[in-house]
Structure 1
Amino acid sequence: MDSAVDALLAQGETRPRADARRNAERLIAAARQALDEQGLAITTRDVAQRAGVGLGTLYRRVPSLDALIAAILMDTIDEMTDRARSALDEPDPWRGFVEFAEVFVRLRASSCGLHDALSGTGDRFDLGPRIRRLQRSVRQLVQRAQDAHMIRGDLDWSDVPFVLATAIPPDHTVGLEARADQWRRNLRIVLDGLRPAADSSASTRQE
């Protein structure tokens, strides 16, 4: 399990290890799935039903649904930050930035809950310190690529997370259904737009 979730579950009632571990794993998987599909509006009953446990079991394992949601979101944001920091070790600044951009968009596109939280609707979960760490890493990635003339110099670093977020498609638009890989296709177009004009590629052509 992840660190924030582990810390939360450690506060729960002590039970036989195998039994407690099974219930914890079910609850975490159920809460992640519900968050991905429904966003921050999930309910305690929904998570318990998905996990196949009673409400009493849920509350013995976690102090509240909000605490479980917060722990899952913290771990996901930490993963995103870790990937940003790893990207800073890539010798090629553009390649490192692209690696992070793919993680950033993929995680947001795959989880309504994470998308909601990073869009400003998760204030009650006290994610501020973790989001600020993520911001610092993104700023370093962008400025490193700008210093190498691989991202347009007329952009402020804070423009970039907003631009990347635009790669996440709605399910439908003008009567069209988004493809399974629509976010990847959108991201290619976005990345081309971030490059200095002379460096833009032709990767956005229709396949």
Structure 2
Amino acid sequence: MPDSAVAALLAQGRPRADAQRNVERLVAAAREALDELGLAVTTRDIAQRAGVGLGTLYRRVPSLDALLAAILVDTIDEMTGRAAHALDSPDPWQGFAEFAEAYVQLRASSCGLHDALSGRGERLDLDGHINRLQKAVRQLVQRAQKAGVLRTDLDWRDVPFALATAIPTDHTIGLVPDDDQWHRNLRIILDGLRPARSPAPATPAEPAAPSD
């Protein structure tokens, strides 16, 4: 399947085969650098990873922002597609949980995506794509709430914030997370999003009277 980020960057004109290969290498290198370094990535980082000079990078892509935006749009649209697919699931909870796992996994695997969805990608003009993702998430949450499998006391906007907290910090109280920590955090969060099986008592139960 053609890389849509590559296709977006090659949309103008009919590039030579060697030019297309250079764009493919630059996109692959930029994805890797974005995942590791986030939006602080530089053209030098990308060119070095791609094994090309800065001159080649500047000839093959309009700008650093255009390169990063093409990659992030690709991933954000993938998330939106996952949400749309989840809406077709016959089981509202299963569909929601599968999307939640894909959403957190994608954010956890890419510092650049995490930065962009955290509001640090204003210069990249991603608003339209993020708005479509928001709409899909809202529909997914509201469907699960209507089915009674997701807490109805939550605003749909609470859910993406809650899911984002599944991504662990570098360390806490001297502990370092392992690679699967996000997955365990997500299980805890999903449990908390489900309706309570029975209402909690309004007041603590009275202690049992001592027997004679």
Normalising by structure 2, we get a TM-score of 0.89
User: Which residue pairs with 2:8 in the alignment?
Assistant: 7
User: Which residue pairs with 2:144 in the alignment?
Assistant: 145
- For structure 2, the 5+ residue unaligned runs are 199-212
| 1:108 to 2:127 alignment | no
How is 1:80-95 mapped onto 2 (pairs within 5 angstroms)? 80-95=79-94
Rounded to whole Å, the distance in 2 between the matches of 1:22 and 1:4 is 13
| 1:157 to 2:156 alignment | yes
Of structures 1 and 2, the larger Rg is shown by: 2
Which amino acid in structure 1 is aligned with residue 92 of structure 2? P
Rounded to whole Å, the distance in 1 between the matches of 2:177 and 2:194 is 25
- Given that residues 6 and 23 in structure 2 are in contact (C-alpha distance below 8 angstroms), is that contact kept between their aligned partners in structure 1? no
Change (3 A) 1:134 1:82: same
| 1:69 to 2:68 alignment | yes
**Residues 40-80 of structure 1: CA deviation (Å, up to 9, x unaligned):** 01111110001000111111210111100000000000000
Identity %: 75
Query: What's the offset of the Cα at 1:12?
Result: 7.1
Q: CA RMSD in A?
A: 1.4
**How many residue pairs align between the two structures?**
197
Query: What's the offset of the Cα at 1:172?
Result: 1.3
- Given that residues 12 and 62 in structure 1 are in contact (C-alpha distance below 8 angstroms), is that contact kept between their aligned partners in structure 2? no
| 1:121 to 2:120 alignment | yes
Which amino acid in structure 2 is aligned with residue 14 of structure 1? P
Rounded to whole Å, the distance in 1 between the matches of 2:90 and 2:143 is 11
User: Which residue pairs with 1:58 in the alignment?
Assistant: 57
Rounded to whole Å, the distance in 1 between the matches of 2:74 and 2:104 is 16
Normalising by structure 1, we get a TM-score of 0.92
User: Which residue pairs with 1:177 in the alignment?
Assistant: 176
User: Which residue pairs with 1:204 in the alignment?
Assistant: none
User: Which residue pairs with 1:38 in the alignment?
Assistant: 37
Query: What's the offset of the Cα at 1:21?
Result: 2.9
- Given that residues 29 and 50 in structure 2 are in contact (C-alpha distance below 8 angstroms), is that contact kept between their aligned partners in structure 1? yes
